[in-house]
Amino acid sequence: MKKALIVLVIGIFLMIPGRELLSKSQRRGAEVMVQNKGGTILRGELLTVRQGKLILLDSVSAKEVSIDIQDVDAVRIVKNPQLLKKAAKGFLYAGAPIAVLGAFSKVGLGHRAATIGIFGGIGALYGGFRELSKRTSETVAMSGLSQKRTDFVLNKLRSQSLFPNGLPENFDEIKGSVKTMVSRPAKAGKEISSLLPGPKFSRVHISFEPAYLSSRATKTYPRLFRDMGFADTRPGGSFLFLKYGPMDYPCVTDGPGISLRGAKVECSLGRNFAVGFEYSSLAKGKVEGYKKIDVTWRGEQYYSELYISETHKSEAFFLSAAWMPIPETFFNRSAVKLGVGIGLSTARITYTTSEYGLADENSKSKNVSKTVPAFSLFGEYDYYLARSCSLGAYVKYRYAPLKVGAFDLAGSYLNLDEQMNIIHSPMTVSFPAHRIDLGGPAAGVSIALHF
Cβ neighbours of residue 189 under 8 Å, at least 6 residues apart? none
CB neighbour burial string for 341-368, b if at least 16 within 10 angstroms, e if fewer: bebebbbebbbbbbbeeebeeebbeeee
Are 144 and 245 part of one and the same domain? no
Tell me, yes or no, whether 198 lies in a domain.
Answer: no
Are 415 and 305 part of one and the same domain? yes
Tell me, yes or no, whether 190 lies in a domain.
Answer: no
Return the minimum-mean-pLDDT range out of 18-22, 73-77, 115-119. 18-22
Are 165 and 278 part of one and the same domain? no
Choose the final residue of a domain: 184, 218, 251: 184
Q: What is the pLDDT of residues 132-148, one digit of tens each?
A: 555 567 888 888 889 99
Stretch 30-59: mean pLDDT = 88
**Domain range for 294:** 204-450
| Sign of the alpha-carbon dihedral angle for 158, 159, 163, 166 | positive
Choose the final residue of a domain: 150, 184, 218: 184
Are 109 and 236 part of one and the same domain? no
Say yes or no to pLDDT of 10 above 60.
no
Q: What is the pLDDT of residues 115-128, one digit of tens each?
A: 555 565 566 555 55
Q: Please, which pLDDT band fits residue 387 given cuts at 50, 70 and 90?
A: confident
- Among the listed residues 232, 251, 408, the one whose alpha carbon sits nearest the alpha carbon of residue 303: 232
The C-alpha atoms of residue 65 and residue 72 are separated, in whole angstroms, by: 13
CATH of the domain at 396: 2.40.160.20
Instruction: Residue count of the chain, please give it.
Output: 451
Q: Please, which pLDDT band fits residue 414 given cuts at 50, 70 and 90?
A: confident
Stretch 7-35: mean pLDDT = 57
Say yes or no to pLDDT of 7 above 60.
no
Quick one: DSSP state of residue 69? G
For 177, list phi and psi in degrees, rounded to 5. -75, -30
CB-CB neighbours of 305 under 10 Å: 18
Q: Are 320 and 377 in contact (CB under 8 A)?
A: no
Looking at residue 97, its pLDDT comes to 60
CA distances from 267 to 205, 320, 335, 371 (A): 6, 10, 16, 27
Tell me, yes or no, whether 193 lies in a domain.
Answer: no
SS3 355: coil
| Mean pLDDT across the chain | 80
Looking at residue 4, its pLDDT comes to 47
Are 7 and 125 part of one and the same domain? yes
Q: What is the pLDDT of residues 275-325, one digit of tens each?
A: 999 999 998 899 999 999 988 777 778 888 999 999 999 999 999 999 999
The C-alpha atoms of residue 153 and residue 159 are separated, in whole angstroms, by: 10
Looking at residue 275, its pLDDT comes to 98
CB-CB neighbours of 228 under 10 Å: 17
Are 242 and 118 part of one and the same domain? no
More confident site: 264 or 359: 264
Tell me, yes or no, whether 192 lies in a domain.
Answer: no
The C-alpha atoms of residue 104 and residue 94 are separated, in whole angstroms, by: 16
Amino acid at 389: C
Stretch 107-114: mean pLDDT = 50
Are 129 and 75 part of one and the same domain? yes
Q: What is the pLDDT of residues 198-251, one digit of tens each?
A: 567 889 999 999 999 888 888 899 999 999 999 999 988 776 667 778 999 999
| Percent of the chain residues topping a pLDDT of 90 | 41
Tell me, yes or no, whether 199 lies in a domain.
Answer: no
Cβ neighbours of residue 160 under 8 Å, at least 6 residues apart? 29, 30, 46, 77
Looking at residue 236, its pLDDT comes to 82
Looking at residue 99, its pLDDT comes to 55
Tell me, yes or no, whether 125 lies in a domain.
Answer: yes
Tell me, yes or no, whether 191 lies in a domain.
Answer: no
Are 132 and 252 part of one and the same domain? no
Looking at residue 192, its pLDDT comes to 59
Q: What is the pLDDT of residues 318-373, one digit of tens each?
A: 999 999 999 988 899 899 999 999 999 999 999 999 988 777 777 889 999 999 99
Looking at residue 242, its pLDDT comes to 72
Q: What is the pLDDT of residues 157-191, one digit of tens each?
A: 998 888 888 888 777 666 655 544 444 444 455 55
Are 431 and 345 part of one and the same domain? yes
The C-alpha atoms of residue 133 and residue 385 are separated, in whole angstroms, by: 5
Looking at residue 295, its pLDDT comes to 83
For 216, list phi and psi in degrees, rounded to 5. -70, -20
Are 164 and 215 part of one and the same domain? no
Are 229 and 147 part of one and the same domain? no
Q: Are 240 and 296 in contact (CB under 8 A)?
A: no
Tell me, yes or no, whether 273 lies in a domain.
Answer: yes
Looking at residue 64, its pLDDT comes to 87
Angle at 260 between CA 343 and CA 404, to 5 degrees: 45
Full-model pTM: 0.73
Tally of structural domains, the chain:
2
Are 94 and 232 part of one and the same domain? no
Burial class (CB in 10 A: 0-12, 13-18, 19+), 29: buried
CB-CB neighbours of 234 under 10 Å: 18
Looking at residue 77, its pLDDT comes to 86
CA distances from 72 to 105, 125, 190, 297, 425 (A): 55, 37, 19, 99, 90
- Among the listed residues 291, 285, 216, the one whose alpha carbon sits nearest the alpha carbon of residue 252: 285
Half-sphere exposure of 51 (CA within 13 A, CB side): 2
Torsion of CA 57, 60, 62, 64, to 10 degrees: -40
Q: Is the peptide bond before 250 cis (omega within 30 degrees of 0)?
A: yes
